[in-house]
Homo-oligomer: A and B are copies of this chain.
Amino acid sequence: MSRRLVVIGADAAGMSAANQALRTARRTGADLEVVAVESSDVVSYSACGIPYWVAGDVDDADDLVARTAAEHRDAGIDVRLHTEATALDLDAGQVEVRDHATGTTSRLGFDDVLLATGAAPILPDWARDVPGVLAVKTLADGAAWRELLASDPRDALVVGGGYIGVEMAETLARRGLRTTLVTRGEEPMSGSFEPAMGALVRAALERAGVEVVTGTEVTDLETGPDGRVRAACVNGDPVRGDVVALGLGVRARTDLATGAGLPVGERGGLVPDDRQRLTDGVWAAGDCCEVLDRTLGQHLYVPLGTHANKAGRVAGTNLGGGDDRFPGIVGTAITRAGDAEVARTGLTSRWAREAGFDVEEVRMDSTTASGYMPESDPVTVWALGERGTGRLLGCQIVGGRGAGKRIDTAATAMWAGLTAEDVAMADLAYAPPFSPVWDPVQIACRRLAERL
């Protein structure tokens, strides 16, 4: 008799796992049945793409779907849409599911279950159920945004200065709305960027026409007679917003797991081992999980599609009878803010000091190409290293075209535990349209190595 794997949540982590489990089972000869239950009507979509769909860069929601339910079914996965997992009975090896189409509840037995329940946007009380106020998380959110913008609103308010906030501010300004971004941080992105680098993001947003208000929390909204949002209270003053984008972060959706008595970590996510296993027959991957930061040796909550895909794949290999390990993260991320590419990896100076590292840092201005080339744009690189070992601990980049993906050099170096000096002398690609003769990341690492 075949083993049955039930995957709960059919998005990046869940469907990576489901596919990889079947693929591995074919190789190992394991007899595996895979059922994936999904409460919504869509699977395997790119949540990261939603701001660009709202912006109009992407025409059709279907383009954001990497693989449809039908395609997954063709690949042998029993995908059940509109099917919500409402309870988990670990002793019985059953998950209780409600079929939203029929309203019926039933139990589904499993040998293994993978929790890939994802994350939910943080929604303050003032933001609940106010027409015109929307998060940016699901395809349904994206569709609602497209509809909202079709009504030709004039003023947009973005609450939150993290990735989603910055991306939505860019999007809404590009759509022609008078856009204000409000963040409680000292600068945009200050949750994971140095303030001086955040200031460059702020400048880029301002160049893109976004007004940026920092050091302030929105605590209340004003609604019009029609009940729709009209403004928010910022520093005691009302700031107009016919539409309000919520970018206050997300939290792991763990109700199902905690309801079954499974523990969560300090950051509120599930904490599977490096094979993505929580306990016998119970696995987890994606935005419902914390991930190991290799530099800190601690679990952090970093809900990103790239980690979800990798962790899902690892879980799938193990569930299919193979052996794979999730090696952790170094904290790499990238986004765009107007004409600026914005990227990071590793620790901030604050995280490093709090973790007890003895650090030095540098900030350097350079250019993305040789200064005499028309392609040349300014770029600023910040780098952090550890005294004694000389090890590179972090890097942040804000600059023009071609700046952002240079973070991968620093990320790969951190992955390998290289020193700043190693990076300074590494053999990176140079030609005038692409780089100064010393790559900007290398210049920063050279200066850093000198200080270390």
Contacts of A159 in B (CB 8 A): none
List residues 427-452 of chain A with CB under 8 A from any CB of chain B.
427-435, 437-439
Report which residue of A331, A431, A432, A439 has the largest number of chain B beta carbons within 10 angstroms of its beta carbon. Answer: A431
Q: Are A374 and B412 neighbours in the complex by a CB distance under 8 Å? A: no
**Please, which residues of chain B bring their CB within 8 A of the CB of A371?**
63
A408: chain B residues at CB < 8 Å are 406, 408-409, 412, 428-429, 439
CA distance A412 to B335 in the complex (A): 22
Q: Please report the C-alpha to C-alpha distance between residue A12 and residue B430 in the assembled complex, in whole angstroms.
A: 14
A393-451 with Cβ < 8 A to chain B: 402, 404-409, 411-413, 415-418, 422-423, 425-435, 437-439
Which of chain B's residues have a CB closer than 8 A to the CB of A331? 427
> Could you say how many copies of this chain the assembly holds?
2
Residues of A253-292 contacting chain B, CB below 8 A: none
Q: List 27 A-B contacts (CB under 8 A).
A: A12-B437, A46-B372, A46-B432, A48-B370, A48-B430, A63-B371, A63-B372, A305-B430, A306-B427, A306-B430, A306-B437, A328-B427, A331-B427, A332-B429, A333-B431, A334-B429, A335-B431, A341-B434, A405-B429, A408-B408, A408-B429, A409-B409, A411-B429, A412-B423, A415-B418, A415-B426, A416-B418
Question: Restricting to A66-116, which residues have a CB under 8 Å from any CB of B?
Answer: none
If A372-B64, A429-B332 touch, does A434 touch B412 (CB 8 Å cutoff)? no
User: A122 within 8 Å of B by Cβ?
Assistant: no
A336 to B306, CA, bound (A): 29
A340 CB, nearest partner CB in chain B, Å: 12
Task: Check A345 for interface membership: any CB of B closer than 8 A.
Answer: yes
Binary contact readout A299-341 vs B (1 if CB under 8 angstroms, 0 otherwise): 0000011110110000000000000001111111111100001
Determine the distance from Cα of A304 to Cα of B434 in the docked complex, in whole angstroms: 15
Closest Cβ neighbor of A309 among chain B residues: B437
Indicate whether A343 reaches chain B with its CB closer than 8 angstroms.
yes
Name the distance in Å between A229's Cβ and chain B's nearest Cβ. Answer: 28
| Closest B residue, CB atoms, query A375 | B57
- Most-contacted residue by chain B among A304, A371, A429 (CB, 10 A): A429
Cα distance, A411 to B435, chains bound together (Å): 15
Choose one: B329, B404, B426; the contact of A411 (CB below 8 Å).
B426
Decide: B310 and A425 in contact? CB cutoff 8 A: yes
**Does A357 have its Cβ within 8 Å of any Cβ on chain B?**
no
Which residue from B48, B411, B418, B437 sits with its C-beta under 8 Å from A431?
Answer: B48
The residue of chain B having its C-beta at the shortest distance from the C-beta of A12 within the complex is B437
| A355 contacts partner chain B, Cβ-Cβ < 8 Å | no
Cα separation A418 to B57 with both chains bound (whole Å): 37
- Those of A345-403 within 8 Å (CB) of chain B: 345, 370-374, 402
Taking the closest CB of chain B, its distance from the CB of A12, in whole angstroms, is 7
